[in-house]
Structure 1
């Protein structure tokens, strides 16, 4: 009788959810990745370690562009992409670092400070930062877990019920997936302490507008290393 009563009292952690928590780990991962790819937009924030540097991100990503802020230990700046046009807004100190030499380079940096600088597609600055504004590219690089997958504990994040995926017993990263509605990924802890990011506002509209002409500078074919 005691065993029967105990069984009746046990709560199903997946009751009232989207049912994803009952699925195998690999299936949960694939559903979360598919949900992320299918979404029109997302707000991504957190810290990412890449190529030996730590980046702090606060980006709103959409299919046709993105806007937000990116910072390192050395500098912080705003990124805006509308279609293929990438703009970078930073202070003069940032642009002085992108320039070589002095004199004309310093004068140019002063003119660029506080403006939306249209970055030529052939410039190394474009290659370095455009990936942070590409929703699918950025998420594909971030959401991968490394090692054998397992279904972890149920929990909640900002009031949303979640299930956690772990990889390599946790050393390969963890991913918290929504158990409510669409199984979007909501938080990722990257393998090897390579950062943690939060993902929210899935599908919400992102206001992307080309900056006013008076706030824009177009330097032509190249920014880096020229005066």
Structure 2
């Protein structure tokens, strides 16, 4: 594949900013970004952010209408690194888990799974009922990765953007993308009093605290 491509799906769960942050981070990389946004996501964009629709669409290289099931990303012959859905609603999760390709977002995710490419779902809901958990299990068994955007407080975030950036950066890590600005444990981050230790590499972590 001469052109590296990735699909970004934004569905209707709260957290539209996760999808925007993914688009912003990918701008600095040599990768072609294909974007598809659900109808629910358009509503959360208006409710949660000051971004206009045009602001968001301009961040992608190619934008696909949700209803266009004949789009390039609906075919496995169109090679991509995979797809990140950020955020991923429980409705979208359920459709993907049960292979319901009723719009381009869920069809693209189905294609990624059938062609054994990387699918990462930033599932955004709490608490979870048994149906949610079973759908997560089904997606995982098919090779997808369920990646709830849980804040990494060990990096001592100072702003909401710090929290969002770290979660999205870790999700993009799963595609083998090199994000230089992402703080990493053991490289950029270490608790006070701990020197040269990696999590899980010391028999008694309490003994290394001064």
Using structure 2 for the length normalisation, give the TM-score: 0.25
Structure 1 or 2: larger strand share?
1
Structure 1 or 2: larger helix share?
2
- In our comparison, the structure showing a higher alpha carbon Rg is 1
| Higher RCO, Cα 8 Å, sep 6+ | 1
